Structure 1
């Protein structure tokens, strides 16, 4: 009698289990082999097929640069700002003024450590060569900038990832050259002279480094 009741209970439990399995399948569905696997957030995303093309970044889309199509200075500055929203002409010129004074004074003092992060490789090499030539001749250069009268952007362009901005500096300076005996061989310590410099600065707009580097120096023709 007891064994009969146990058998009935087993049958009842089996029926309940079968019913639950049926309900679960009707709610969750069955796998057909065509379902997409759920992405694992802790694994790298799968590589894109060759026929999938990523959308271009906003910088490239908003500010294309066509070297064969000259643009105005204002338009060039707009392109740089579109590619790098942090660019501001007024702020840039403030930094350019500071860089101008630092570079001029460091060059006169032969301070290559200060010059290194401010200059491109080519400009740095030229500056170092001039410093060494001066030192080998036993000469020293003393430079004092009385004031920077003007600093204006005269050229700009966006060349791929590089923004290039050219500034014309007009300053009053006292430049003295002394020989090994300390005698002045060039310059007047009491008479500042007007000096006009045209410098071009460059920055990779995709780089995290916000600093600009001096890539070219020249004087007006």
Structure 2
């Protein structure tokens, strides 16, 4: 029995050595393409060109930096190209947007509307959830005060509110204004929304969880064009229906 035990033991040892050598030959090689070890204390690097902590950010536009030897600011052709889909150049809106682009060459209506739609979705969700922290980042002081009071009153009544944004059908810039260096851009949103409010007992007091409503909102965003902060904040709201 001892001889059989010694033979089997020897065979297993030889087999283990062979497997170890083969694994080491495959897994132990370094190609130079390995990822560096993860460091949980290292701050992640932002994407190139992405400003930190932005909400409704105004990305750098095509006329943000003037080439050497030329006057700063976008050309007439560049402004016309930006406005082409959003306003006629000789219309009141076109003239207002032109003034805004000249005051802040990074302003681009297409990029602005993308950010405005994202902000709309975030505000609707944050209000339904009573998320004051998110609302504080997105709203101006006056609007934040109104939203906060509505949330507090809702909570005091023991009510809960649920909103599901099915989609934004349209988002159009309808007004723009530049007062000193403060820019205001008003957007008309047409969206599909499911909303319902329940009391403390879970009974529906407003809305319908199975009905999609078309909602039209008119929101005005504001930003100080002299500030290096690219964020826009919601300065005023109006429900058209």
Report the TM-score, using the length of structure 1 for normalisation: 0.67
Greater relative CO (CA pairs within 8 A, separation 6+): 2
Query: Is 2:234 the partner of 1:214?
Result: yes
Counterpart check, 1:198 vs 2:213: no
Q: How many matched pairs?
A: 153
Structure 1 counterpart of 2:170, from 131, 150, 167? 150
The whole-number CA distance in structure 1 between the counterparts of 2:167 and 2:203 is: 26
State the alpha-carbon separation in 1 of the partners of residues 239 and 167 from structure 2. 18
Q: Distance in 2 between matches of 1:210 and 1:75?
A: 22
Q: Which runs of 5+ in 2 are unaligned?
A: 1-71, 74-90
- For 1:203 and 1:176, how far apart are their aligned partners in 2? 33
Higher Rg of the two aligned structures:
1
CA RMSD in angstroms comes to: 1.4
Tell me how far apart the structure 2 counterparts of residues 133 and 154 of structure 1 sit (CA, whole Å).
33
Matched, 1:76 2:93: no
- The alpha-carbon deviation at position 182 of structure 1 amounts to 1.4
CA shift for structure 1 position 219: 2.0
* 1:160 and 2:195 matched: no
CA distance in 2 between counterparts of 1:220 and 1:113 reads: 27
Which residue in the other structure is 2:137 paired with? Answer: 117
1:140 corresponds to: 160
State the shift of 1:155 in Å.
Answer: 0.5
- Work out which of the residue numbers 90, 96, 107 in structure 1 matches 2:127: 107
1:145 is paired with a residue whose SS is strand
Task: Name the structure 1 match of 2:44.
Answer: none
Which of 71, 86, 96 is the aligned partner of 2:106? Answer: 86
Deviation at 1:220, TM superposition (A): 2.6
Unaligned runs of 5+ residues in structure 1 are 1-57, 60-70
Query: SS of the counterpart of 1:212?
Result: strand
Q: How many Å apart are 1:180 and its aligned residue? A: 0.2
Q: What is the rounded CA distance, in whole Å, between the counterparts of 1:104 and 1:111 in structure 2?
A: 10
SS class of match (2:196) = strand
- Runs of 4+ in structure 1 off by over 3 angstroms are none
2:204 to 157, 180, 184: 184
